[in-house]
Amino acid sequence: MEVDKKKMYPKITFVNTDLKANHKKLDQNMDQLTVSDFVSEVNNCAKDDTVYIFENLNHFLNINIDRIIAFNTIFFYFNSYQDVIDGLSRSTNKDISAICDKIKTEHLLKDVVHMSTLIKQEFCHNQCKSVFCHVESCHEDIDNVSDLLGKFINNHYRDITKLEFFEFNLVLRELLTNAVKHGNKLDKTKDIIFAVFLNIDEGRIGFAVKDEGEGFDFKGHLHSIEKDELRINERGLFLINEFCNKIYSNNNLIIVELKK
């Protein structure tokens, strides 16, 4: 049966100061909109299948997004962690997300939108704030993401013990190591998308990781091995399962919510 891609992915609309030339060759499920027309255009043709991405942080901060009818997460690009702090700290009742400015290609953006949709459906039924990053398939980049986690928690999730942070960081490293080593097999030409998200109402934090590997059945594989027969490269599965309150896995995508 042929899959209708239009139903799989919401429409992605870039919000710019003008209609940029580098967006002329957009996919048929993508569009662009000027900042000056944003509020009126969105409310005049409000649809539940549109995702908006602000290409400039100041424009995102200066528009009252609570005045618009938007059902999906509203994204803004960032190129420094200060941008993340400024963007996610704004007062709003909308779902908002910072997205790394390295995530530009259509297939990566669609991955982000798909992951964001699943996070909302499976983990955050009310408000959610998140950060999406591009991770290179190398162990060195895992340290960079670990640093980002520390900054995210310091600014948005301060009620946490040192032990809890250790467990959070351990799960993050196990997820990314699995994606780098087993998913993409250390192939630096392959992409990894990582997200950290915060369920505002319940005060829970979670991670999402998608690689370009073939994927595997997380729960099935977990149940197929005995703890006393663990090989060293399989211990990560039990650590993830032990420290997570909820796990969603589908092929090469895994989303977890940490215990708190």
Domain boundaries, the chain: 1-102, 133-260
Please name the residues in contact with 166: beta carbons below 8 A apart, sequence gap of 6 or more: none
pLDDT confidence of residue 237: 79
The CATH homologous superfamily for domain 133-260 is: Histidine kinase-like ATPase, C-terminal domain (3.30.565.10)
Residue-wise pLDDT tens digits, 30-83:
888 888 888 887 877 666 678 899 999 999 999 989 888 777 899 999 999 999
Helix (H, G, I), strand (E, B) or coil at 204: strand
Convert the pLDDT of each residue in 174-206 to its tens digit: 999 989 998 999 999 999 999 999 998 888 999
Q: How far apart are CA 96 and CA 105, in angstroms?
A: 20
Which residues lie closer than 8 Å to 132 by C-beta, 6 or more apart?
Answer: 75, 97, 98, 99, 100, 103, 112, 115, 116, 193, 194, 195
Does the structure show a pLDDT above 70 at 227?
Answer: no
Tokens at 128, concatenated: 């959610």
